[in-house]
Structure 1
Amino acid sequence: MALNVTAAIMMIVFGVSLAMISSVTARNTESQAILADTLTLETALLRQNSQLRGFLVTADQSYLKSYYEGRDDYDKASAALEARLTDPALQEMVRTSRAETQKWRENWGDKYIEVVKSGQRDVAQQAIRDAGKAVLVSDAVLPLRTVRDAQHEAIAAETEWQDSAIIFGWIALAVGGALLIGMAMVFSRKLSHSIATPIADLTQTMSAMAKGQYDLAIPGTGRIDELGAMAQAVMVFRDAAHERARAVKEREEAMAKIGANLHAVANADLSVRIIDVPPAFQTVAHDFNEAMERLCQAMGLVQDSIMAINLTSGEIQQATTDLATRSEQQAASLQSSSSAMDNLTTQIEDYAKIAADVSGSMVEARGEAESGGKVVSKAIEAMDNVARASAEISDITTMIDGIAFQTNLLALNAGVEAARAGEAGKGFAVVASEVRALAQRATEAANAIKQRVEAVTNHVRSGVSLVNETGSALETIISRVGTVTASISTIAETAGEQSIALRKINRAIGAMDQMTQQNAAMVEETNAASHGLASEAQQLGELVSRFQHGDAAMVEARARAA
């Protein structure tokens, strides 16, 4: 009877201890759930922030979808956490976080998503860069960390209370054992195997569990007595504690991996990836890896574009340099051509004036020749009148005949010289001079004839014939002089037209020279612009080269190392 009473008392004490332990376990479980909800809220906030940045960089709708999912997850988890909390101060922290999150969405998230949707992605990116730390979600995360710290403190307090309950159980066990020592001596052999050994094993197991060893087997779980119930209760506590420790460890490992990868990204390493994370973090890992892949692709395209710009700008620079050299050479050639055309135009105008003067002189010479023809006609008439008295002037007429013949030759030479090119006036002047000399000799011979006219009357008939021939020669000279005059007039008119045409050509060459000078100036400006483009492309290439985005094998190796 006493043994039963003592056993009953011990059972009551153990029940109280187990109730205390169960209560502590329930409270720890609730604290763990609150802690999990708090981590879920922080993850949702970080997800919204990262997806917003991904959408601003790529304008990909998948980032926008993930952003809205993170926002919905946050709203649901926030409402659930507030309902689960019983402490008004912690509830106020949740509401503060929710208000700060709503403010962040209004000022940054939702606002700049709408800006990107309106086609002003560059404006949104610049606003985010200019904002710096203001765009972070720290104000919304800090209240959640306060809640999380409070739960850690609560878990620590409950663990301490659990340790107290275990100590109380130890004390109760010691007291009950002392009371049962006397009675147990009788039944020790019989009960040592059935009661004492399982209790000792269970006690060792509980002590190990109190030290954090949750992977031990619980002895006595197959019993159907009170010790079996105790073992079942301890097993439940062990499983709950083990699951809680595993969940906390997984979350800490996942957050450590995410933090390490984010640190690598902050150091311009885009080759990192998140792998081997718990299922709860698979979505975050997938979104992070997808963002890194797209960012690496974008960086690759940027590098290719920079190489193309460098190549094109080099070609443009070389082409503009060659074009500038050729333009300068062309301008110099045009300037020389313009000067030569000016000189040629002036010379042709001078030739036209000379040809005009020669034409006038030829007209005067023709008039004089026609007057000479009339004189010859009169001389023929006179010679006919004195034919009978001119027989004695045969010698003189022979001389006159020779002079006429030479005059004819000189006249022909004058015609040939006048028909030749540009400086016809000079040759004609020489011939005219000779004609004048012969005319002087003819005058002298005429004087001699006048002196001997009375002695050479019998030779007049021959003189008449010679004078007739002289008249024919003068008519030929008049005809040739007319032809030469017409040719020189044509030359003068042609020279004038050529002068006008050369003036037009000279003006056109001057205009071409001016345009060539303008083209040379524009080529210099283009060359300077190509230099600037090459410099800007080089600077952009240096900035992009700071980012590491290797091949797939490198990415996998970096991810596993992380």
Structure 2
Amino acid sequence: MEFFTRMSLKSKLVTIVAGFLSLVAILISVLSIIIERREMAHLALDRVDYALAGFASTLASSAEGFASAPPRPETVGDLARTTSPVRIDPSIVDKVMNTLDIHATYFQLLPEGQRFERLMTSIKTAEGTRAVGTQLDPAGPAHQALIAGQVYVGEADIMGEPYITRYEPVFDGQGRLSGAIFAGVPIATVGSLVLTTVLQLVLPTLALLLVAVLASRHFISRALSPVRAMVDIVNRLEKRDYDVVITPPSTQDEISALARACVSLRNDLSAGARLAASAAAQEGERMQQQAELSRVVADLRSGLARLADGDLMTPIASTPDNPFPPAYDSLRESFNSVIERFGVMIEQVNGIARNVRVGAVEITDASRELSTRAETQAATLEQSAAALTELTQSVASTAERAKMAQDASFGNRKGAERGAEIVQDAVAAMQGIEKGAEQITRIIGVIEDIAFQTNLLALNAGVEAARAGEAGRGFAVVASEVRLLAQRASDSAREIKTLISDSTRRVDEGSALVRKAGESLAEILVRANEAASLVADIAVAASEQARGLAEVNAGVNQLDNVTQQNSAVAEETSAAAATLQTQSGDLIVALSGFRTHQRPETPRTEARPRPAERKGAVIEANVVDWTAAAAAVVNGPRANPVRQNAWAEF
């Protein structure tokens, strides 16, 4: 860290840029390695799956003891055992190894101990021979998956070397586990491929990093060249060389702002040097002015101290042997004028305070009398307001009952209207019944005509049957029965027509009665409307009366409240007048502490007649402005008699 602080700004910036670019390059390289390793692992698994599928297909077609099996979930090698002994040519596994660079193995299941033994494999032992006869590690995850009849895909150690593997179980015709097939590639092979790819990526990255660092160093050096010029300028300003020429660069960055700030600093330092020279020349003059100012402050301090003690008779003096400074003589004259005028004002205020005290005594007495009369007026007005409130409530109750009567009248009118509508409906129904009776009469006439025609037809049929002789006897019986039926239908039609005529007559009578009832209801409805209109007018008038009384009541109540407030104001005025009297005395006592050239006077306590001597003063009952009322009591005529019924006139 100490080495970094001793470095120049250019070296620091280059170091920071180089470190940042290196960090970015390392991050990109690490991400590339991770992605490439993952891709290589996926590619290796795809190659293993392809090799295992080819190995299973070759065993099914070229080796004894195997056959193709139906596809199963999660498997790529569709292989099954047959009942024939297993014979596998070593060239099969060598072909897979030489073609795809993938190791292949066939395991047979040993019944004793449930272990898998390599029957044929391309994996070599440490001595360089095929690892035929070796067993699969019982503690490994692949063994557990195969015993459970499942596929295992993942990493596994084989002969002390890590592999990317795929194991699939092999079943016989009865579905029993009889062996397994294997395909795998060493992880070292995948790692070498990854390392080759990483080297191909890292070398160009390092070259680009070096070029970027060199370019950054060049651009930083060019960007910091104006800063070195600013350092030289500041060093010359430190040596008080204010004639240095500063040329701000044409750019709009922080260095240009620094150059402009240096120009302002040079101008300020030059102006400061000139001001320091003139200040040194003015220091002597300032000392003389300081001495005169000290004399002025001392005299003003003593004069203000006397003024604080109440002395208004001693001004600030200016003697020939010790004259007041001429530059501040106007201040001395102003102070002397102030204390002289202040003394005159104190005397005037003292006289006014005495007069105020006398007036306060008179106002106190008048306010007490006014408060008493206001209380009496408020009590009378309160009783009037209570009586008016009862009257308003009574009128409001009457208006409410008139409204109820109006509602009842409206209800009766609506009932009459509904009755009229019902009668009209009944008339319409009677008219419909009349029309129906007429139609029934016409239908009965048609039935009579039909019965008559049927009777004629039956008679003709009987004549024709008689002519036919013995052969028409049965037809004559039928014609006789038809004639009887026609006669009965004609009789029934006559009876129905008689009943319909009677019903029609009664319906006509009912229709006439209903029409009369409708006319009567219409007259009742007209009279109900007239009564409802009268009740509505009464209700409106009662409501208006109640509203008017309510407004009058509100006005009286408001006037009562105002009267109560006026009474309270009168009492407060009386108390304020008493307080004013006391404070005027205190003011006189306070003003007596000032010493002036005028001679003090004795207080005048009988400047005006006492209010008790003016019992003839008039207080109008309808006065609202209490200030004017008080003035009338104090200064009004004295010969008018007091009106005892003033509130009654109000």
TM, length-normalised to structure 1: 0.29
Greater share of helix:
1
Bigger-Rg structure (1/2): 2
Q: Which has the higher strand share?
A: 2
Q: TM-score, normalised by structure 2?
A: 0.26
